[in-house]
Amino acid sequence: MRKRQVFRKPYRVKRKKSIFKNRFFWLSILGLIIFGALFYFFIFSSFFQVEKIIVSGNEKISEEEISSLIKKNVEKKILFFSTKSIFLTNLKKIRENLLDNFPQIAEIEMARGFPNVLSARITERTEIAVFCQVENCFLLDTNGVIFEEAQVEDDLIKIINEQKINGAVLGEKVIEKDYLEKVFKIQKYISEEFEFEVKEFFVFKERLNAKTNEDWEIYFDPKGDLNWQLTKLRLVLEEKIPSEKRRDLEYIELRFGDFASFRYR
């Protein structure tokens, strides 16, 4: 019996297509080259390197100090290469660093001016009072923030803190804005309505003392109805305390009830 012969097709080895003939490979290479060129252009080329810093609005702080701090925040390192690219400049971080280092600054507006300019518009704090605690005195702004050590100035109201508070830090709020507004409301009312003035305020936990230039005090409740307390002050001075005896006063108490009590020395 004859064996049946089986014929098989010869095995063919498929040759792998060269990667250099792959269109996707060359498109990827082209994409990397374009990306690298653009990256270099925007990050390392001299065209977008920060060359000029414009500072405006500053009066007390020198432009050199502000510019110097900005420059420190502009320079970056990528691997072993340095760059001052305007695109990598973190404006938020620069603003925060300026506020941390210069308590005299109330607000900063940072902006880019393409291709190579940074601008910083400064709003400095304005002193409206002198705030003292223990033996240290500071300039105080409208928001109740201390921002600079100060000698007691005659043309500014002096606010003396009689509460136990740890050491003051420049740039921090030491008195609430609404409390401060009450202080100035009292000062303005007395200045406009009477012949004497308030030269100092003493801040306690539950009391606000106004010391007049005649060397007697008025006790206010800062949490109470201030308008009513001022009305009581006017009534007691007009009806019960003769002007010639005012300098003999020790204090007028306005914090309780509908009446104003007072005491002579």
Same domain, 78 and 166: no
Length of the chain: 265
pLDDT for the residue numbered 154 = 63
Looking at 124, 151, 177, which one is the last position of a domain? 124
pLDDT at 173 over 90: yes
Mean pLDDT score of the chain, rounded to an integer?
89
Q: Are 52 and 116 in contact (CB under 8 A)?
A: yes
pLDDT for the residue numbered 79 = 79
**20: DSSP letter:** G
Same domain, 133 and 260: yes
Residue burial 52-85, b: 16+ Cβ < 10 Å; e: rest? ebebeebeebeeeebbebbeebbeeeeeeeebbb
pLDDT at 1 over 70: no
Domain holding 228: CATH number? 3.40.50.11690
Q: In what order do the strands lie in the sheet with 105-113?
A: 52-56, 117-124, 105-113
Q: How confident is the model at residue 63 (pLDDT cuts 50, 70, 90)?
A: very high
15 belongs to a structural domain:
no
Q: Are 92 and 52 in contact (CB under 8 A)?
A: no
pLDDT for the residue numbered 29 = 81
Contacts for 140 with CB less than 8 Å, ≥ 6 apart: 127, 128, 129, 130, 131, 146, 147, 159, 174, 175, 180
pLDDT at 9 over 70: no
Q: How confident is the model at residue 170 (pLDDT cuts 50, 70, 90)?
A: very high
Looking at 73, 98, 124, which one is the last position of a domain? 124
Same domain, 184 and 234: yes
Give the least confident one: 17-31, 54-68, 94-108, 225-239. Answer: 17-31
234 belongs to a structural domain:
yes
- What is the count of structural domains for the chain? 2
Same domain, 157 and 255: yes
pLDDT for the residue numbered 172 = 92
Same domain, 231 and 182: yes
DSSP string, 35-87: HHHHHHHHHTSGGGB--EEEEES-SSS-HHHHHHHHHHHH-EEETTEEE-BTT
| Alpha helices, H only, 57-176 | 63-74, 91-101
217 belongs to a structural domain:
yes
Q: Any idea which residue has 């010869």 for tokens?
A: 10
Same domain, 137 and 242: yes
Same domain, 65 and 146: no
Same domain, 169 and 205: yes
7 belongs to a structural domain:
no
* pTM across the whole model: 0.80
Looking at 106, 124, 142, which one is the last position of a domain? 124
Q: Are 97 and 73 in contact (CB under 8 A)?
A: yes
Domain holding 119: CATH number? 3.10.20.310
Q: How confident is the model at residue 6 (pLDDT cuts 50, 70, 90)?
A: low
Helix, strand, or coil here: 12? coil
31 belongs to a structural domain:
no
Measure CA 113 to chain center: 24
| 30 vs 113: which has the higher pLDDT | 113
Domain that holds residue 87: 47-124
Q: How far apart (Å, rounded) are the C-alpha atoms in residues 39 and 50?
A: 16
10 belongs to a structural domain:
no
Q: Are 83 and 48 in contact (CB under 8 A)?
A: no
